[in-house]
Chains A and B, each alone.
Chain A
Amino acid sequence: IDSEDDLLQECISSAMPKKK
């Protein structure tokens, strides 16, 4: 099971701009 920190980090990363 993912820790809260991992979930938060995943959430932030999902919103970061991707390389064009």
Chain B
Amino acid sequence: PDSPLARWTKSLHSLLGDQDGAHLFRTFLEREKCVDTLDFWFACNGFRQMDLKDNKTPRVAKAIYKRYIENYGIVSKQLKLATKAYIKDSIKRQHIDSVMFDQAQTEVQTLMEENAYHMFLTSDIYLEYV
């Protein structure tokens, strides 16, 4: 009952907390051309753990913004306008905060839970692995 596979089906969180699960889900998303959503999700987690006193932190915030939000890619399309405006403004004013991407991450995660995660659990990639 506590096998990795049993955990993967429990929640998106438990899938992403497992190395093999996250890897397989990433392979699936690459094929579906939406791997950026997962990379963004992990980037948000990584960013939250960064030290605000580290001079790398504002540069990482800017890199996340440029790579996923400013470019009208899939992550940008999934986010609410207000969420994007808030992040843009935070970066412009250099108001760097550990939780500045939290709302954006939640929006992407909700869509991932509703769509990609369920598609993954019925995909041939998953079924072959099982």
A14 to B64, CA, bound (A): 14
User: Chain B residues near A17 (CB, 8 Å)?
Assistant: 16-19, 21-22
Contacts A16-B19, A17-B18, A18-B19 given; indicate if A11 touches B62 (C-beta within 8 A).
no
A8 to B71, CA, bound (A): 15
Main secondary structure of the interface of A (DSSP, over half): helix
* Interface 0/1 of B30-65, CB less than 8 Å to A: 000000000100111111011000001001101110
- Residues of chain B at the chain A interface (Cβ within 8 Å): 16-19, 21-22, 39, 42-47, 49-50, 56, 59-60, 62-64, 66-67
- Residues of chain A at the chain B interface (Cβ within 8 Å): 2, 4-5, 7-8, 10-20
